[in-house]
Structures are given as C-alpha cells and as structure tokens.
Amino acid sequence: MTCVELLWAQRLYAIYVAVLFSVYLARRLLGTAWLEEVELRLAGLWFVPALAAVAVGRLRMSDIRDEREAALALMEFVHRRGGFCTAASLTVKAVALLGVLSFAVLMLTPLLPEFHMRLALLLTLFALLYSWMVGRELDQLRRELELLEELKKSYEKISR
Amino acid sequence: MKKSRVDLYIVYRILKTLKKNGPMSKTSLALYAKLNYQRAVKYVEHLSQMGLVEVDKHVKLTQRGLEILEKIEEVLKSLGF
C-alpha cells in the first residue's frame, strides 16, 4: 500500500509543483493581481496531493481480493519499478521528519530571528536525525531488499 | 490492450476461476471473477492472444493456461502464500 501511495504522491506532487511554478512565473511576467490570489490559494493546498495519493492508493488496492493477489500485485510492482518500493517507508519517514523539524524550527523564530540560522539548524538536525534513522532501519532495509530480489525472481519465473 | 495495462493478479484470478468452475460464458466469468464486464472481455481477449484461454461460445482454459496457473501457484507457495 505504501509503495502505491508513494508512487502516486510522487506523480501528483510533480504536477502540483509544475502548476504552482507556472502560475508563479506567469504572475512575475504579467504582474496580474488575480494570479497572485491563485498562487496563494494553490500554495495553501500543498497537502491535497498527499491526500489524493492516499485515496488513489486505497482505491487501487480495494480491487485486490486476498493476500495471494496482493503478493502478485507487489511482485509486478517491484518488477516494473525496481528499488522504488524498498525505501518507500524510509522516504515517508524522512518527509515526516522534515515536516516536524520545519515546524519546530519555525516555532523557534522568537529565539532565532535570523532566517539563515534557522535554516542551518533545520538542515543540521535533519542530517543528524536522518542518518540516525537510516542506521536504525538498515536491517529492515536489508530484509526488504532480499524480499525484493525474491519477488523479482518469482515474477521472472512466471513471465518466462 | 497494452502489455503494461495487464495486471498479473487479475490474470491469476481469471485462470483460477476457469480452473475451478470449468468453461463458462464471458458474463459468468466476469461475475465469478468479480470484474467489470468490459474489463473481463479485454482480459479474455488478451489471454486468448497469449494462448492461455480459448474462446468460442464459452471461455475455456487451455493446457498452457493451466500450466501458467500451476506455475503461479508454485511461486506463491514458495513465497509462503
């Protein structure tokens, strides 16, 4: 489920960023006031692609009837997209970590009014906690990679 | 139908339904496999091109289809399912 949701999040956020920056560029070039309104509204909807990705993922998975079909769907997914699925949970955790840290650093604005100091703190904390998290999850990643290889081989055995 | 649009788990479901219930009409197959009729027809066409089913009045599993189904079940068993 996480793999499918992450794939859709990736697609939808790519579209979101493209639309947001097109509106931004159009506003900068044309200087129209209503485009500024559109840009602000769009920026406020940053969470919509994430929610839509969860909905699409669940909709696609609702078609699967049992764990055997789920295993076949996962097998096909990893065959088509290689290692994408392996780090899916780690990617989700990294995004969540960045979100939480950004919020925490934003809360420190009265203590650290300089933007560059807050940015440096955010990046340092993220680098430290992310490397700690990856270290902690290495064993899980290794097991996921082994499963991935097994699933890929199984798929090849079937499609041969 | 494009190859990338074919889901393996649906192929497995159709082959399993045909093995369990024997030859059947496309409508019955769609019903038993819990698929939308249009989708079931597309899959049947695709499976027929691959030589996994035969289509005349009814949809029937071929020897090759049976072998593929057995292969899938063997792989699933080796994965612990």
Partner-chain contact B12 A69, CB within 8 Å = yes
Residues of A whose CB is below 8 A from B9: 64, 69-70, 72-73, 76
CATH number of this structure's domain B3-78, picked from the four choices 3.30.428.10, 3.40.50.880, 1.10.10.10, 3.40.50.2300? 1.10.10.10
Residue B36 Ramachandran class (φ > 0 left, ψ -120 to 50 alpha, else beta): beta
Residues from chain B that touch A64, judged by Cβ atoms under 8 A, are 9
Nearest CA in chain A to B16: A69
List the single residue in B4, B8, B68 with the smallest CB-CB distance to A72: B8
CB distance A72 to B12 below 8 Å: yes
Q: What is the pLDDT along chain A (160 residues), one digit of tens a residue?
A: 677 888 888 899 999 999 999 999 998 888 888 888 888 898 888 889 989 988 988 888 888 888 888 888 888 887 777 666 667 777 778 888 998 999 999 898 888 889 899 999 999 999 999 998 888 877 777 777 777 777 777 777 776 6
First to last CA, chain A: 27
> Hey, which residues 37-66 in chain B have their CB within 8 Å of chain A?
none
**CA B30 → CA B8, B19, B37, B47, B70, distances in Å?**
16, 14, 5, 14, 22
Residues B7-61: tens digit of each pLDDT = 889 999 999 999 999 999 999 999 999 999 999 999 999 999 989 999 988 999 9
Domain assignments of chain B as residue spans, ordered by start = 3-78
Domain boundaries, chain A: 1-63, 67-160
- Torsional sign, CA A56, B10, B48, B21: negative
Question: Could you tell me the pTM of the whole model?
Answer: 0.68
Element housing A65 (H / E):
none
Chain A nearest-CA distance from B57, in A, is: 28
